[in-house]
Structure 1
Amino acid sequence: MFSLARKEGRKGHSSADHDSAPVRNARGRSGGGLMSVFGFGGAQPPKLVGLQYAALARSATLRFGVFVGAAIPAITFWEDSAGIWLAGGWFGLVFMLAAALLRLERGFIDAERRTLSKEEQRTHIATVGLAGMLWAGPMLAFPDAMASGNAPQYAVMALLIGVFVLALSVVPRAALTFVGIFGVAGTTAMALAGDISGTIAELAYSLVVAAGAMSLSRLYLRLRLTEANLAEKQETVSLLLHEFEENSADWLWQVDASRRVRGVSPRFAHALMMEPREADGQPLLRLIAGEGWESGALPSSLRDLAERLKRRESFSNMMVRVSMGGRTRWWELSGTPKHDEHGQFSGFRGVGSDVTEQRESAEKIAQLARYDQLTGLPNRMMLTEALGTALQRAEQWRTRCAFLMIDLDRFKAVNDTLGHQIGDKLLAQVSRRLRVLMGQHDTCGRLGGDEFAVVMADVNDREAVDRMAHAIIDVLSKPYDVDHHTLYVGASVGSAVGPRDARTVETLMRNADLALYRSKDEGGGSHFAYEPQMHAHAEERRKLEFALRHALERDELELAYQPVVDAETEEVLSFEALMRWNSAEFGRVSPAKFIPIAEDTRLIVPIGEWALRRACDEAARWPSNIRVAVNVSAEQMLDANFASTVVSALASSGLAPERLELEVTESIFLRDGGAAQNTLNQIQTLGCGIALDDFGTGYSSLGYLRNNRFTTIKIDRSFVTGAAKDSPESLAIIRAVVAMCDALGMETTAEGVESERELERIRQLGCTKIQGFLFGRPMGALEASALLESRTERRIA
């Protein structure tokens, strides 16, 4: 919008504020602002000047006639004093000046479309001033003629002059210039003639005419400004609508009172897949309902739209499913009722847009957010929502629901040995088997990794959860055929029942997790239901973990050494370093408790390094023929810096590499066989020995023995006990292991020998070394040194 009174430097005002400034001045603002608007004391806005002078041009002929007409009665009362010829000459000058003014003002007809020059304005004011002086001359020259009683003629003249001034008021400066000269001359003439009442009347007349001219000028200006602003607003709206139609993805739509589309825009017609003329006048609902219009099978969103139109209610951002050309589309519509000038309802108008692509994208995002992409099962978010709904329903109807957490046994071995691609295909098969087990009120999903879950929304039978859990274990434990690999994995299940075990989703899931942890802790392949003491066990484990994190800095860890002797001579050959924890808070904690915690939290890495360095330091004080064995976890072996740690421990202690033996279990090869073997090769290159602990209790793959050069194979205590009881299986296994080790140049150590019967049987079977309580319990470093000294003294004696 244009601004009529814009000033340089003003900030924070809208264009509408600038446009309305002259109007506020015209309503009574005093001072320089008002004078500026009327053309005094400041520069007028060009648009305002154009409006004034264009209006002046349109009434130029009227002023010409009034101006000349006013001179006719004036001649009658100046003729006697001035004479016919002088009065006639004056009339001729009036006519010529009026004609000149007419011609000048008609030249302003295009003033609204151009900028009027200052020279043109000054010329017009000067001409009007000259006209005023033309009238002032006879009044001042013949004052007696005005007071001689020619009242009727004077009244007519004054009336016409007043009309002339009021017609000139569209340009306030011109009107005030003329009335000022005319009024001063008339008042002066009356005073010179000694007519006091006439003087007062003349002065009052001039002031009234001037005030009337100012009022008309202000009224005119307000009217024209309002018209101009409305016109420009309409133009702006038209431009915006055009721009909207041309550049926006939305469209404008409108229907009449009968809900028939009217004024169809090209973009709306394109959305309807029709020409504008074809769509105009047709019912809106019929156009967008497709085949459903005839059958009456309308979607709920379309029925909602029809109801809103029927009730004549405004609506905003309504999602409507429409049918265009046999295809389903989604529109977002907003509409407002419209009324005619009499307040009668005349239809709806609004804005619409096709949001099909956006909706499909949103649905896809929702799918990604709520479903697992690998298995297609509900993910953790959707399972949580399902469990929340089940809990709420159970509370409301006093029933029960259940949450079962499922963890695959031995899945990590599959992933690590055969790769993630095979693992992913295995998970997909697991998900298909779980789906088959689900009932009408059950929901299964994947929590992540190899963890799955089941929400049982209706559990009325106390045994239903246990039946479901064992069905899951049985089905998932059957063999899988994946890319020509026959795979076996089991499942462990933990369950919690709501609202008995918990009344919130988070607590119920946590309790099921505690039950699952118990199942895994018991070896897997089983189902455990939540029991309150599990929470106490978990809390104890949490406290143990917290205390274990500070055990090293508090110097609470220590090493115990158990002797390993020669099977024939019973001479001490080495000691196995065993970790012990004497906690200030919990007292002596069993390794069976804190070692698994250390491995789960990877605290085993710094603790294991400490144990390695301490054992090397202690062993360096023993006789040079005595070795020390240190257990190494899978977490340590897979640490990239472990070989460097071994080198550092040997260097700082001065222990010869061949006196250090590292004991590992088969589990390291299940994590990352390549990395473990590489680390073992580096350690063996140093000259250290490698012992394979607990052989026979795990996978016991002969491939481990083929690919790695072990110095010792340790036979688990369970086989030693079985051999002492003449168990054929135990005897056969020990004989096979001994024979294999003899062939491969390895030594064998029988663990857990506690009786003479066990010792005799182990000697018969050919084991080379023995470890067990029969020859010594784990002891401190000082006791181990004392034992070695006594053995040495006994041998010397």
Structure 2
Amino acid sequence: MLGLSDPDDGDWSRLRGIQYSCLGHSTFARVTTQISAMLATAALVFGQVPMAAVAVWIAVACGTLWRGVRIDRTLIDADKRRISRDEVHAQMISSILNGLAWSVPIGGLGFFVDAQTQVKLWIVLAMLMTASAVLLPAVPLGTLLFTGITGATAIVFFLSRGMFDMAAVSIAFSGIVIAAAIESARRHVITKIAEAGIVEKDEVVSMLLREFEEGEADWLWQIDTARRVRSVSPRFAFALGMDAKEIEGQPLIQLIAGSAWESGQFSTSLHDLAERIKRRENFNNLLVRVTIHGQPRWWELSGTPKLDEKGNFDGFRGVGSDVTEARENSDKIAWLARYDTLTGLPNRLMLTEALGDALDYADKWRTRCAFLMIDLDRFKAVNDSLGHLVGDQLLARVSERLKEQMTDNELCGRLGGDEFAIVIRDASDLAHIERVAERVIKRLSQPYEVDHHTLYVGASVGSAIGPRDGSTVETLMRNADLALYRAKDTGGNEHFTYEPALHAHAEERRKLEFSLRRALERDEFKVVYQPVVAADTEGVVSFEALLRWESKDHGSVSPAKFIPLAEDTRLIVPIGEWVLREACKEAMNWPEHIRVAVNVSGEQLLDQNFVASVVGALQHSGLSPNRLEIEVTESIFLRDTTMANAALEEVMALGCGIALDDFGTGYSSLGYLRKLRFSTIKVDRMFVQGAATGNPESLAIIRAVVAMADSLGMSTTAEGAETQKEVDMIRQLGCRKIQGYFFGRPMAPEDAIALFGSPANPRQSAA
């Protein structure tokens, strides 16, 4: 109430505004009162106190009064805003200064006048105390400060003069004024709060009435005891699309039922409305499906029975609004929440609900259900090469084919991306699951005609059976995903059912990934080097840097196992940068004509910092760029040809060589050889071994690659040479360089250096 602090609960800043806004309205009365008191004081001490002292006092008192008036006038609009603590403090200081000024007549001038005048001065102060309590009922703090200062001064003065009776009177009077001020302030604030509440309620009611009158979607309706419309409002007639005269006297249900009035086949909501009216029940916001001129609409109706003067039922009255648009939007939102916008298939939410229902059904009737996860093979290549628009069209075609395969026992949907799923409600016949999977794989693997492109994608399927493989939705979906992962690992276009061993494999993969994330900082990686020799002289011309992992947790881990994992988790980027730095640094220990080849993953090449990492490795080691060769496979061009080309062109601009590894084993395209000038084409070991056994296809492929490389000014390296027969065959076919166990296995850095310290043939040194 005093305003010294504001509790956390409630809008106290607004309450302070209501209090302090009253100060500005009583300014004139307070100024008049204090000036009158100044004149009375001057008259009382006239002839007893030097007029110069009186004049100084009057000037000070007027100064404090003027300061207070200025502050109070700034608070006139405080009830319309929130008053700050600084404004409260300023008004409080003004009251203190004014109280100190008025303590001078009794506490200062009083020592120079007689006892009778002293009492008269006290009467003037008492008048001011009373006036403060009367004129400032909303702000008790100002009255308390003024009364406390002047009253305390008077009490001390009378005690010092031995006028104990007057001191007692001063104490009693000051206490009464203070108590009265607090009580008056409490009642005043309560009154103001009540007034503000009434005003606010009036504003709200006025606003609601105004909105209702101005709103075009709301109307009033009224029916009599026979349920016939009476007192038709213009807006109600507009909602029905009829003239008010046509509506008057018509049954309400007939007007909004449409053709259902003749057939008697009312909608549930319309039947509910009729029953409530029949039972004379209140209803609020009742959603009713009506038919207006043959078009279905949704109305929201509220109604209450009306009674006549004798309390007898006299019909219904209420309000209504057309909420068709809101209802359609709500239905659309509900559809979007449960269906995929691209394919129109049920989405993940609806699939999980369906799987939950299937599990409940299986538990209730002791049957089985199944969940099949489907992933499209080679879809990413289509998306990356032809764009997302074609990819989206392809997904729509896939969804159409999936729906063709479904019966009442199956529900298919899209989980996201190129992943789909099927819920089989009753899978008691386990062979049925296999048949469904086979049908899906066969149908989805057939060619698609999309935007003048003939596209081929396959499908991998993983399935889990409930409740055998999981009694919860999450478990069953996870196990189906593990089975799908197994199907993808085998090359795709396969169906695998969940087995407990798959979970163990997934757990092993998780642990391996955890260790792989710490392998660099634990210094578990090492780089070994396999020599590449000239086919004619058998002298070492380069080394291929190969990564090995000696894990403290898992022992020696095969590259075939951890490299794909590193690519999936994008750990290959920091690992590849480390290999690049190590290989360049080690190459500085070899003769200047010996090059080093470093394999680069597609994830590395598409990383925006790849070229910077190559430059950094060369600068840090001091290796000449022409001694570094970057090895890539064709698969990287299927992801982002433009970005891959740009990165390789920047590397070639540095002076580095580019080798195309495993040419002929994947998505071979002569277009890559035309766009990029590779320094080396590497022939895969499968062709080398095939040629050594006399396979005509392998021999033809190697001859074609060698002839093509020679014509393009590129070198060829044959991989996997393990016998003298294979080496002789490679020479005969014209390959310029050879790599394989026949000339040396991948070796430690010190063993690689030792090759150059001995005059012996590299093959003998590496043996």
TM-score, normalization by structure 2: 0.71
Matched, 1:267 2:228: no
Match of 1:158 in 2: none
Displacement of 1:583 in angstroms is: 1.5
> Which aligned pairs between 1:421-460 and structure 2 lie closer than 5 A?
421-460=389-428
Match of 1:517 in 2: 485
Of the two, which has the highest radius of gyration?
1
Question: What amino acid sits opposite 1:562 in the alignment?
Answer: Q
Q: Is the 8 A contact 2:219 2:321 kept in 1?
A: yes
> What are the Cα deviations for residues 190-232 of structure 1, in whole angstroms up to 9, with x where unaligned?
xxxxxxxxxxxxxxxxxxxxxxxxxxxxxxxxxxxxxxxxxxx
SS of corresponding position for 2:666:
coil
Q: Is the 8 A contact 1:735 1:765 kept in 2?
A: yes
C-alpha distance in 1 between matches for 2:279 and 2:296 = 26
Q: Closer, same or farther in 2 for the Cα pair 1:424/1:247, shift >3 Å? A: closer
Displacement of 1:597 in angstroms is: 1.1
Matched, 1:349 2:340: no
Matched, 1:405 2:368: no
Match of 1:360 in 2: 328
Q: Is the 8 A contact 1:245 1:252 kept in 2?
A: no
Q: Closer, same or farther in 2 for the Cα pair 1:322/1:791, shift >3 Å? A: farther
Q: Closer, same or farther in 2 for the Cα pair 1:337/1:723, shift >3 Å? A: same
Displacement of 1:585 in angstroms is: 1.5
Counterpart pick for 1:749 among 714, 717, 724: 717
SS of corresponding position for 1:331:
strand
Displacement of 1:246 in angstroms is: 3.8
Matched, 1:312 2:280: yes
Counterpart pick for 2:438 among 462, 467, 470: 470
Match of 1:42 in 2: none
Q: Is the 8 A contact 2:539 2:761 kept in 1?
A: no
C-alpha distance in 1 between matches for 2:565 and 2:206 = 75
C-alpha distance in 2 between matches for 1:482 and 1:794 = 56
C-alpha distance in 2 between matches for 1:574 and 1:377 = 56
Which runs of 5 or more structure 1 residues have no equivalent in the other structure?
1-8, 13-232
Q: Closer, same or farther in 2 for the Cα pair 1:658/1:397, shift >3 Å? A: same
Displacement of 1:651 in angstroms is: 1.2
Matched, 1:553 2:521: yes
Question: What amino acid sits opposite 2:593 in the alignment?
Answer: N
Counterpart pick for 2:535 among 549, 556, 567: 567
Match of 1:536 in 2: 504
Counterpart pick for 1:676 among 621, 627, 644: 644
C-alpha distance in 2 between matches for 1:637 and 1:238 = 69
Displacement of 1:248 in angstroms is: 6.0
Counterpart pick for 2:695 among 727, 732, 745: 727
> Which aligned pairs between 1:303-342 and structure 2 lie closer than 5 A?
303-342=271-310
> Which aligned pairs between 1:99-248 and structure 2 lie closer than 5 A?
244-247=212-215
C-alpha distance in 1 between matches for 2:430 and 2:313 = 65
SS of corresponding position for 1:762:
helix
Displacement of 1:11 in angstroms is: 9.1
Matched, 1:612 2:591: no
Which runs of 5 or more structure 2 residues have no equivalent in the other structure?
1-11, 16-200
Displacement of 1:238 in angstroms is: 11
SS of corresponding position for 2:291:
strand
In percent, how many aligned pairs have the same letter?
68
Counterpart pick for 2:601 among 629, 633, 651: 633
C-alpha distance in 2 between matches for 1:786 and 1:682 = 34
Q: Closer, same or farther in 2 for the Cα pair 1:773/1:10, shift >3 Å? A: closer
Displacement of 1:755 in angstroms is: 2.4
Q: Closer, same or farther in 2 for the Cα pair 1:744/1:305, shift >3 Å? A: same
Displacement of 1:453 in angstroms is: 1.5
SS of corresponding position for 1:350:
strand
Q: Is the 8 A contact 1:254 1:349 kept in 2?
A: yes
Q: Is the 8 A contact 1:245 1:267 kept in 2?
A: no
Question: What amino acid sits opposite 1:506 in the alignment?
Answer: E
Displacement of 1:422 in angstroms is: 1.7
Q: Is the 8 A contact 2:524 2:552 kept in 1?
A: yes
TM-score, normalization by structure 1: 0.68
Question: What amino acid sits opposite 1:597 in the alignment?
Answer: L
Displacement of 1:687 in angstroms is: 1.5
Matched, 1:703 2:671: yes
C-alpha distance in 2 between matches for 1:551 and 1:794 = 33
C-alpha distance in 2 between matches for 1:257 and 1:320 = 21
Q: Closer, same or farther in 2 for the Cα pair 1:451/1:301, shift >3 Å? A: same
Moved over 6 A (4+): 9-12, 236-240, 792-795
Counterpart pick for 1:780 among 735, 748, 763: 748
Q: Closer, same or farther in 2 for the Cα pair 1:253/1:492, shift >3 Å? A: same
Matched, 1:597 2:568: no
Matched, 1:483 2:451: yes
Displacement of 1:793 in angstroms is: 9.3
SS of corresponding position for 1:534:
helix
Question: What amino acid sits opposite 1:480 in the alignment?
Answer: Y
Match of 1:87 in 2: none
Deviates more, 1:412-421 or 1:601-610: 412-421
SS of corresponding position for 1:305:
helix
Displacement of 1:263 in angstroms is: 3.0
SS of corresponding position for 2:519:
coil
Question: What amino acid sits opposite 1:711 in the alignment?
Answer: S
Displacement of 1:270 in angstroms is: 2.0
> What are the Cα deviations for residues 10-66 of structure 1, in whole angstroms up to 9, with x where unaligned?
998xxxxxxxxxxxxxxxxxxxxxxxxxxxxxxxxxxxxxxxxxxxxxxxxxxxxxx
> Which aligned pairs between 1:249-260 and structure 2 lie closer than 5 A?
249-260=217-228
Q: Closer, same or farther in 2 for the Cα pair 1:686/1:347, shift >3 Å? A: same
C-alpha distance in 2 between matches for 1:448 and 1:412 = 13
